[in-house]
Structure 1
Amino acid sequence: MKLHCEVEVVSRHLPALGFRNRGKSVRAVLSLCQHSPRSPPRPWAGGSRAGPHPACLLISTLKDKRGTRYEQLKKNIEQFFTKFMDEGKATIRLKEPPVDICAISSSLRSFLSAVRLAHRGCDIQAPLSPLTPAKTSEFDKFKTKMVITSKKDYPVSKNFPYYLEHLQTSYCGLVRVDMRIFCLKNLKKLDLSHNHIKKLPPAIGDLIHLQELNLNDNHLESFSVALCQSTLQKSLRSLDLSKNKIKALPVQFCQLQELTDLNLDDNELIRFPFKIGQLTNLRFLSAARNKLPFLPSEFKNLSLEYLDLFGNTFEQPKVLPVIMLQTPLTLLESSARTILYNRIPYGSHIIPFHLCQDLDTAKTCVCGRFCLSCFIQGTTTMNLHSVAHTVVLVDNMGGTEAPVISYFCSLSCYVSSCDMLK
């Protein structure tokens, strides 16, 4: 019976001798073994020789595959510490030698049950492992990085190592995201570049530690709202969606507020999310070679270190504004403005879902107030150096200016800001 876990063996003699334990766990294979008559004799961890027993503990690491054997289990366990069992943590305290075996694993419960039986001298129903050195392949589960760059190397018959933190599967011809990836709860970096993926499953949002996601050179046409509202809001730092077929990102995309790096090069973008200014941590933004005709007004709220908008189809600012004012305001418009201005909480459990969508997509006036369908829309230009330290030229003529759409909630707001639109 074997348990792949992280183990720290703490000697209770060290503090009395004035030494400190190192306090660092190692990845190991913890085995409950059957003592074999054929096994060569080996010194007991307590320093003396003990007779054969039905079961013993063996802790093997990658550096010491033969492992350390704790033969005496029957009536030799002083205490089990299982207060944090639900978190996958437990400690076995032996009487002789005086050590604490601290283990971390999601499968501790059944293993500890078998150890308890060995302590009581009862028969153990589960099969015991042979008392042999661990194999190198047994430590593959502890790998934290795996890079696959060809279809022939892609694992089909076996799972990915459970402890992976960095997984790259490029040039593998994938048309969908492998569902086995969603079991990798420690994953921090996922690289699925250079494949044929058309759609992202919502389950990617269950990777609670994911910080970097690379989807470069695929066939994506959208980035779903479900992903924008998942745990990626708190974890995702870097996102590469370049060389896809994305035409627009949902307004909820701006809820990924931990983003620092965003690459949207070589897509078919016709607009940015108009609340892009909410990405306050964004520092590197590249959206070259798209079809952007203008930038949203909240683009002015960004504070970037690097910006690349080369090769977009920016239009010349329109001289005349688009007027969609209505007097008096409709009840829907007036209520929505009041809710947003006073930051009154709302949700689909309070008001109809379509009204929530209207509130989520409300436009922000230059005065800081909000409007839904009653506004004036004007176009101006902005120098991109006002939002970024380093700016790649917008075109081959050396320009660094781009058109920006602005909204005004009333005629007075428009008149007071008309100098800005000249």
Structure 2
Amino acid sequence: MKLHCEVEVISRHLPALGLRNRGKGVRAVLSLCQQTSRSQPPAPAFLLISTLKDKRGTRYELRENIEQFFTKFVDEGKATVRLKEPPVDICLSKANSSSLKGFLSAMRLAHRGCNVDTPVSTLTPVKTSEFENFKTKMVITSKKDYPLSKNFPYSLEHLQTSYCGLVRVDMRMLCLKNLRKLDLSHNHIKKLPATIGDLIHLQELNLNDNHLESFSVALCHSTLQKSLQSLDLSKNKIKALPVQFCQLQELKNLKLDDNELIQFPCKIGQLINLRFLSAARNKLPFLPSEFRNLSLEYLDLFGNTFEQPKVLPVIKLQSPLTLLESSARTILHNRIPYGSHIIPFHLCQDLDTAKICVCGRFCLNSFIQGTTTMNLHSVAHTVVLVDNMGGTEAPIISYFCSLGCYVNSSDMLK
């Protein structure tokens, strides 16, 4: 039985001697072994740790020799085995989580002196080919090179499969828990599985030149909220992004060029870490009011169908306010938690898409809507011209929760 992972063996005597461990694991093959003999019964199993520099490996007795297992992060491919003799901690990382669980179970049996259910290895040096599984980067740019009969190396951190004719995301990719960069550009993918959100370390996702028509709300609620920093959705067929998209607050680089976008998410201003935004050649008629809250280094909105600001405002004031309007404003103003387990789902959607007045208050269905222009240099250091006429201004919508707010802010609409 073997396990491929990174290993660091730490002596517990080091702190007493005033020394520190290296703090870095090495790629290794762990084997559960027995030394075979024709004349004697099978010997107890032991752990053999082999590295590329030491293929014969180092042996550690297991029978009644394991002091403790540390498995809090086993689902992330990490665990530590503390031995009694020698007094060392064997720290494992970047392992396949299911393989790691099975290997630890076998080690527990060996520690108790029980028979291991799975076959154990014989004491032979590990071959160099065993270490090929530690590949961290794989680039596939043609259909003929795409692996059909064997899995991707579990240790991959960067995977690119472009020009392979993929119509869906290969589920084998979603088992690569160490992935930090996934490039699926130039394929025919129409839909993203929600399980992409299970890639807890994913920082860059490239879906350029596919057939996507939407971006899943489930992905916006996934662990991508804390990990995803770069997203390329260029050259697809996306008309709108869900309002929940703005929960991906670690995003720094967002590319939406050459889609069919007719609007940005209304709460795009919540992307506080966004620095590079490109949405050229779409069908945007105007920008949402929260666009003013962005702080960008680079902005490209060239080739959109921006409309001229309307002279007359759209008035939808209600007097008196409905119970729904008053309740919604109270919930949002006081930041009262809500969800579909508390109130109907359609009310959650209304709250998610509530407008924000220029005064900072919220409004649902009672408001005045006005359109003006903004110079894009007010939100970005570098701005690509929005048209061939040399302009850097674009129409933006503003909302007013009352007639008083509209009158007090009327200068901004001139």
Q: Give the TM-score, by structure 1 length.
A: 0.88
SS at match of 1:252: helix
Query: What per-residue deviation string (whole Å, max 9, x for no partner) do you get for residues 377-416 of structure 1?
Result: 1110010000000001111111100011111111111111
Mapped to 1, the partners of 2:262 and 2:15 lie a distance apart of 67
Instruction: Name the structure 1 match of 2:57.
Output: 68
Equivalent residue in structure 2 for 1:93, among 72, 80, 83: 83
Match of 2:272 in 1: 280
Secondary structure at the aligned position of 1:82 is classed as strand
**Cα distance change of structure 1 residues 136 and 355 upon mapping to structure 2, 3 Å threshold:** same
Offset from partner CA, 1:316-362 (integer Å, 9 cap, x none) = 11111111122112111122112212222222222221111111111
Q: Is the 8 A contact 1:5 1:103 kept in 2?
A: no
> Which structure 2 segments of 5+ residues have no match?
none
Task: Supply the AA of the counterpart residue of 1:175.
Answer: V
Tell whether the 8 Å contact from 1:7 to 1:101 is kept in structure 2 after alignment. no
- Check 1:334–1:251 CA distance in 2 against 1; reply closer, same or farther (3 A cut): same
Q: Which among 54, 67, 80 is matched to residue 80 of structure 1?
A: 67
Match among 318, 331, 344 for residue 336 of structure 2: 344
Deviates more, 1:188-197 or 1:203-212: 203-212
Give the greater-gyration-radius structure (CA). Answer: 1
How much does 1:81 deviate? 2.2
Where in structure 1 are there 5+ consecutive unaligned residues?
A: 39-51
**Given the alignment of the two structures, is residue 145 of structure 1 paired with residue 145 of structure 2, yes or no?**
no
CA positional deviation for 1:83: 4.2
Q: Is the 8 A contact 2:276 2:297 kept in 1?
A: yes
Q: What is the match of residue 7 of structure 2?
A: 7
Question: Aligned letter for 1:113?
Answer: R
Kept in 1: contact 2:67–2:84 (CA 8 A): no
- Decide which of 385, 407, 414 is 1:415's aligned counterpart: 407
1:114 and 1:126 in contact (8 A); partners too: no
- The CA RMSD measured in Å over matched residues stands at 2.4
| d(CA) in 2 for partners of 1:367, 1:213 | 37
2:321 to 320, 324, 329: 329
Worse overlay, 163-172 or 28-37:
28-37
> Is contact 1:336-1:359 (8 Å) kept?
yes
Q: For the residues of structure 1 that align with 2:273 and 2:70, how far apart are their CA atoms?
A: 39
1:32 equivalent in alignment to 2:32 = yes
The aligned counterpart of 1:246 is: 238
2:222 counterpart of 1:230:
yes
CA-CA distance at 1:89 after TM superposition? 2.2
Q: Structure 1 pair 414/170, CA: closer, same or farther in 2 (3 Å)?
A: same
- The corresponding residue for 1:303 is 295
- Matching residue of 2:105: 110
Q: CA offset at residue 125 of structure 1? A: 5.0
Structure 1 residues 409 and 74, CA, compared in 2 at 3 Å: closer, same or farther?
closer
Once the two structures are superposed, residues 120-141 of structure 1 have per-residue CA deviations (whole angstroms, 9 ceiling, x without a partner) of 5x65554221322222332233
- TM-superposed deviation, 1:103: 4.2
Q: CA deviation at 1:181?
A: 1.5
Number of residue-to-residue matches in the alignment:
401
Query: Per-residue deviation at 1:270?
Result: 0.9
CA 1:73–1:296 in structure 2 vs 1: closer, same or farther (change >3 Å)? closer
Output the CA distance in 2 between the equivalents of 1:15 and 1:365: 59
Classify 1:321/1:180 alpha carbon distance in 2 versus 1 (closer, same or farther; 3 Å): same
Counterparts of 1:273 and 1:14, CA distance in 2:
54
TM value normalised by structure 2: 0.89
Work out which of the residue numbers 187, 199, 212 in structure 2 matches 1:207: 199
Distance 1:139 1:330, change over 3 A: same
Conserved? CA contact 1:82–1:91, under 8 Å: yes
Instruction: Show the 5 A alignment for 1:133-172.
Output: 133-172=125-164
Distance 1:348 1:54, change over 3 A: closer
Distance 1:133 1:54 in 2: 19
Q: Percent identity?
A: 78
